[in-house]
């Protein structure tokens, strides 16, 4: 398969698991990777869009026929048991991922997860650490655009919650500790954008907010 660096990065973060679910699977490449490489015994691939699910069903047809993969047409965790070992949700907004995790009927925090939110990674981080997750990897990478990926697992019984500062919630603990090139590149771009906005005619409170943001961005990439 010829897939993007983004997909290859996500696949590289998926751990071996008995059961795996790819929610919002679209083409199904990550499920194919898990099955092809013997990283899971059983896979569920699901999507809310019929057209997307059909693409994955074509790609994964041999595994479906062999009883190792099941396609589900549905919203969020519909058709995904909370006992599943590992969940991937990639390419959706952080708020959308959050509404899947907290859905009254089907929501749950997976035992192990890889999330790649397109927006609002901070919102997702905050919810995860406050709701029983341990974040194990959390970094920015670049494939044309910049992407965040957050991996983790459910806390064990009695295991202490992680502590995050507001800066770590906003930017990611790993990013601040290791300053990956992609993270620094994105923050530098955001700083250039802030500088440009600051040149325009702004209300006092907007200018003050932009100056606070500029200070946080500068702090995020200082060595």
Query: Among 9, 32, 52, 140, which residue sits at the site for ligand SAM (rule: CB under 6 A)?
Result: 52
Q: Does 82 bind ligand SAM (CB under 6 A)?
A: no
Per DSSP, 56 falls in state H
CB of 171: closest distance to ligand SAM in angstroms? 22
Q: How far is CA 20 from CA 44, 58, 140, in A?
A: 6, 19, 24
Query: Among 43, 92, 150, 182, which residue sits at the site for ligand SAM (rule: CB under 6 A)?
Result: 92
Q: Does 44 bind ligand SAM (CB under 6 A)?
A: no
Query: Among 35, 100, 128, 221, which residue sits at the site for ligand SAM (rule: CB under 6 A)?
Result: 100
Name all contacts of 27-30 with Cβ < 8 Å and 24+ positions apart: 27/52, 27/55, 27/56, 27/59, 28/55, 28/56, 28/57, 28/59, 28/60, 29/1, 29/3, 29/59, 30/88, 30/90
How many other CB atoms are found less than 10 A from the CB of residue 129?
A: 20
Q: Does 103 bind ligand SAM (CB under 6 A)?
A: no
Residue 25 or 220 with smaller CB distance to ligand SAM: 25
Strands across the sheet with 86-92, in order?
69-73, 40-47, 17-23, 86-92, 112-117, 145-154, 133-143
Which residues inside 12-41 make contact with ligand SAM, applying CB under 6 A? 23-26
Q: Does 47 bind ligand SAM (CB under 6 A)?
A: yes
CB of 89: closest distance to ligand SAM in angstroms? 7
Residue 3 or 210 with smaller CB distance to ligand SAM: 3
- Rounded distance between C-alpha atoms, residue 15 and residue 39, angstroms: 7
Q: Does 114 bind ligand SAM (CB under 6 A)?
A: no
Q: Which residues bind ligand SAM (CB under 6 A)?
A: 7, 23-26, 46-49, 52, 75-76, 90-92, 96, 100
């Amino acid at each position: 398969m010829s897939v993007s660096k983004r997909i290859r990065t996500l696949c590289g973060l998926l751990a071996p698991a008995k059961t795996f679910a790819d929610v919002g699977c679209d083409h199904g490449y990550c499920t194919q990777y898990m099955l092809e490489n013997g990283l899971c015994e059983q896979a569920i691939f699901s999507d809310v869009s019929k057209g997307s699910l059909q693409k994955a069903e074509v790609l994964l047809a041999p595994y479906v026929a062999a009883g190792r993969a099941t396609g589900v047409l549905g919203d969020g965790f519909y058709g995904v048991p909370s006992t599943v070992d590992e969940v991937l949700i990639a390419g959706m907004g952080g708020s959308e991922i959050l509404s899947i995790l907290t859905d009254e009927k089907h929501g749950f925090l997976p035992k192990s997860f890889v999330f790649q939110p397109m927006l609002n990674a901070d919102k997702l981080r905050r919810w995860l650490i406050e709701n029983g997750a341990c974040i194990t990897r959390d970094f920015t990478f670049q494939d044309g655009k910049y992407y965040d990926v957050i991996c983790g697992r459910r806390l064990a019984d009695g295991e202490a919650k992680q502590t995050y500062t507001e800066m770590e919630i906003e930017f990611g603990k790993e990013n601040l500790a290791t300053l990956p090139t992609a993270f620094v590149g994105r923050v530098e771009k955001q700083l250039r954008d802030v500088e440009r906005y600051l040149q325009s005619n702004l209300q006092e409170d907007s200018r003050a907010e932009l100056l606070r943001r500029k200070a946080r961005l500068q702090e995020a990439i200082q060595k």
